Amino acid sequence: MEKRVVFHGKLLPFLLLAPQLLVTLIFFYLPAGQAVWQSFLVQDAFGLSTEFVWFENYQILFAKGEYYRTMLTTAIFSSLVAFFSLSIALLFAVQADKHIKFATGYKTLLIWPYAVAPAIAGVLWLFMFQPSLGLVSQAIRAAGFEWNPLLDQNHAMALVVMAATWKQISYNFLFFLAGLQAIPKSVIEAAAIDGATPMRRFWTIIFPLLSPTTFFLLVVNIVYVFFDTFGIIDAATQGGPAKGTETLVYKVFSDGKSGGDLGGSAAQSVVLMVIVIALTAIQFRYVERKVQY
């Protein structure tokens, strides 16, 4: 029998929920509502007059080629980060799942980057790869490769991908490790007796059994790359050079703050909001069902 606490009267439950509801309302629903409202407005450059324009901001946004370019940049950036952070984290987790010496220390070190703030991570990688002074840059140059993320868009992209990947590996690692440890040891042993080589064991047993974790992480990683990498990009490249690393979320910031186009920027953030809602819906709908065995 399930035991349930029954509250007589309605005041106490409401009081208990109130703090969380307030936080959600003030910090999530209110700004979201404001963004939607603002996306229908156009303000003059001095903020003196405001006009309600319905969907004009959106029409302008989707009429311009540069928004699609930013979408492409975001797509490239997020697939690279998701692919590398997932595969590297999986590799690390498989290693950590084996009985190795200093396993605890190994795991702790792997988890550290997650505690680093995005902007600091960006600065860290910026310093390491700064063309003239960076330690890594000097090594790369010494090897005869002309490395310059300040001028070359591909180099800049590589830099922010590395920084964003590095930061996300910890998170993925933790989930993969937990996922691996949830696979019964006897299933792996049965496969070993069934004559599967370690490689085959991984691809035919472990990887399919991890698929719910992998799918969950894929969605979480995409959300991460879409939004939380703002700090990294701002600190490392500021979307440059020549907007080569400008992602959707960074464009919201640069158009709104530097460009002064509040309505257009709000419209962009509403588009982002729709994307994240869609991703969350996919996750809720499928993570429990489709990807299970």
Partner 1 sequence: MSDVRLDAVRKVYPGGVEAVKGVSLEIADGQFCVLVGPSGCGKSTLLRMVAGLETISGGTCAIDGKVVNEIEPAERDIAMVFQNYALYPHMSVYDNMAYGLRNRGTPKDEIDARVKEAARILEVEPFLARKPKALSGGQRQRVAMGRAIVRKPKVFLFDEPLSNLDAKLRIQMRVEIKKLQRALKTTSIYVTHDQLEAMTLADQLVVMNKGQVEQAGAPLDLYEKPQTIFVAGFIGAPPMNLVTVPEAGLPGLTLIERPAGPVVLGIRPEHLHEQPMGPDTLTVEIVVSAVEAVGAETYLYGALHGHGPELIVRVPGRATHAPGQRIRACAEASQLHFFNPQTGRRID
Residues near partner 1 (CB under 8 A): 184, 186-187, 189-197, 200, 204-205, 208-209, 211, 293
- Would you say 146 or 189 has its CB closer to partner 1? 189
- Would you say 211 or 283 has its CB closer to partner 1? 211
The residue type of 14 is F
**Residues 242 and 228: beta-carbon distance below 8 Å:** no
- Would you say 13 or 208 has its CB closer to partner 1? 208
Helical H segments across 98-152, by residue range: 103-111, 118-129, 135-142
**Residues 229 and 76: beta-carbon distance below 8 Å:** no
| Least distance to partner 1, CB of residue 1, Å | 22
CA quadruple 136, 138, 141, 143: dihedral positive or negative?
A: negative
Q: Which residues contact 40 (CB under 8 A, 6 or more apart)?
A: 52, 53, 54, 55, 57, 263
| Least distance to partner 1, CB of residue 83, Å | 23
- Would you say 139 or 190 has its CB closer to partner 1? 190
- Would you say 22 or 178 has its CB closer to partner 1? 178
| Least distance to partner 1, CB of residue 18, Å | 42
- Would you say 15 or 199 has its CB closer to partner 1? 199
| Least distance to partner 1, CB of residue 196, Å | 5
| Least distance to partner 1, CB of residue 99, Å | 10
| Least distance to partner 1, CB of residue 184, Å | 6
DSSP 183: S
Name beta bridge partners: 50: 43
By CB neighbour count within 10 A (0-12 exposed, 13-18 middle, 19+ buried), where does 159 fall? buried
Determine how many CB atoms are found less than 10 A away from the CB of residue 219: 17
| Least distance to partner 1, CB of residue 208, Å | 5
- Would you say 179 or 239 has its CB closer to partner 1? 179
**Residues 248 and 74: beta-carbon distance below 8 Å:** yes
**Residues 53 and 263: beta-carbon distance below 8 Å:** yes
| Least distance to partner 1, CB of residue 71, Å | 35
SS percent in the chain: helix, strand, coil, step 5? 75, 0, 25
- Would you say 133 or 192 has its CB closer to partner 1? 192
Rounded CA-CA distance 259/43 in Å is 12
